Amino acid sequence: MAMSTAYVVEFDAPSLARIARIAESSAIMAAQYRLAMGACVTQVKTRAKLNAPVGVYPGDKARRTGGSLRRSIKGIVRSPLVGEVSTGKEIPYAKRREFGYDRQTDTLGRYYPMDPIDFEKRSHMFYMKHALEESLAFIESAFASAARVSIQQMSIP
């Protein structure tokens, strides 16, 4: 006697619809996460600009402040999960203002035991790092919201 070991699995129409929605979910999530990343990049960029050190022009009665470093801070969304906030290459001192230049020698041979020396200016060091740290709660909330909206849009029963 010959035995058959064939199994057949068939899906009903509602199950097939559910499977199709799950397959489409990556596009839905990518779109929502890209929106969230855009908001996060804007948040970090804004914070970095507020934290960036600026000087006051000497002798200026209007007390205008310098702003080349601030203006150079840009943000870009590279993918739904990768965003970048950075300074432009046209501002060569941006890295120095971020990390300081303590105990270093520049290309002209000048040694800096402490740079910047001024306490007020030192308080603006790590302007990018602080911008990211100050934005962590916002970033967490943005991506949690993106996940919730994605799940709602999938409407998988």
For 72-116, the pLDDT digits (tens) are: 899 999 999 999 999 988 887 787 777 777 777 777 787 776 666
Rounded mean pLDDT of the chain? 82
CB 97 within 8 A of CB 127: yes
**Which tokens go with 4?**
């058959």
Positions of E strands within the chain: 73-79, 82-87, 104-105, 111-112
Chain-centroid distance of CA 28 in Å reads 21
Does this model's pTM top 0.75? My answer is no
